[in-house]
Amino acid sequence: MKKSSKNYLISIVGATAIGKTALSIKLARHFKTEILSSDSRQFYKEMSIGTAVPNTDELAAAKHHFIQNLSISEDYNVGSFERDALKKINALFENQNVVIMVGGSGLYVDAVINGLDYFPDVDKKVREKLNKQLEEFGLENLQEQLKKLDYISYNTIEIDNPHRVIRALEICIGTEQPYSYFKNKPKEPRNFTPVKIGLTADREIMYNRINQRVDIMMENGLLDEVKSLYPFKHLNALQTVGYRELFEYLDGNITLEFAISEIKKNTRRFAKRQGTWFRKDTKIQWFDYQDDFEKIVTYINTQIQ
């Protein structure tokens, strides 16, 4: 694709619960455009409360794409998202020159803006064996294995995410090359210019917002949502914060009170990892979550004119 300076993808990133959804809607209305979600947890129809999907009013305020468009049983990954998102972005650029993308899934954001690294196919039995290891010995066992096989990836991927750890390990084992060996190869150029916006807040404020969001999720029926998904708890889509902990409660391993405290703790850890990921990108322009909307628009206008 030939890169065009006339098309702009405004990417809004930041930690969970920081206010990305509200800002994306304001920007979409201001620029009279549409929104793509790059939040990998919000793709699934069955996961609504625990993934903080935009509510009915928010979805009506601006047109959204890639929100609850899949079932948890569907095999979908970051490569699929890169393909589908670029197709949708190019279609939207037929009628406008600004599109909004919002989400805190760093890998999915990078896939759209920069392109993915591609890896050789690996025998499915490798992943099956790793999944069994995870079930029998826990995530820490896999983390230690990755540390020995690929220290670079151990220090750069989302190490608390079982799916990411297993993906890195299956490449290490299946190809006999480190996962990091296949990273950062030349990518196909995009036909848009990205404008990267990041939202941030003091740590205490961010953590308080996370704790409050979890309490609201529980009040809104998160436990019932998780109960309805219990028969599918083995699926990759459900190996995520807010669901794992309540599955543990339903299994009788922990109390509900402890499960809720674990959701808050693990969400705070997730937010910290998001911050670490995005802070590495020096092209992101950061704003405090309480900054005036006009201040953000003024910056964007300097980038798209």
Could you tell me if 205 and 225 are in contact, meaning their C-beta atoms sit under 8 angstroms apart? no
Is residue 19 part of an annotated ligand binding site?
Answer: yes
Phi, psi of 17, deg, nearest 5:
70, 15
> What's the start-to-end Cα distance of the chain, in Å?
22
Instruction: Tell whether residue 302 is among the known ligand binding residues.
Output: no
Can you read off the two tokens belonging to residue 235?
């699926």
Edge-to-edge strand list for the sheet holding 98-102: 64-65, 35-37, 98-102, 8-14, 193-200, 285-288
Of 270, 262, 265, the C-alpha closest to 246 is 262
Residue 16 labelled as part of a binding site:
yes
The C-alpha atoms of residue 50 and residue 47 are separated, in whole angstroms, by 6
Q: For 16-120, where are the E strands, in sequence order? A: 35-37, 64-65, 98-102
User: To the nearest 5 percent, what fractions of the chain are helix, strand and coil?
Assistant: 55, 10, 35
263-298: string of b/e by CB count within 10 Å (b at 16+)? bbbbbbebbebbbebbeebeebeebebeeeeeebee
H or E element at residue 111: helix 106-114
Token pair for 98 = 């600004």
Q: Which long-range contacts (CB under 8 A, 24 or more apart) does 218-224 make?
A: 218/260, 220/49, 221/49, 222/49, 222/50, 222/246, 223/256
15 annotated ligand binder: yes
How many angstroms separate the most distant Cα atoms in the chain?
A: 58
How many residues are listed for the chain in this entry? 305
Please report, in range form, the residues annotated as the binding site for ATP. 14-21
Please report, in range form, the residues annotated as the binding site. 14-21
Please report, in range form, the residues annotated as the binding site for substrate. 16-21
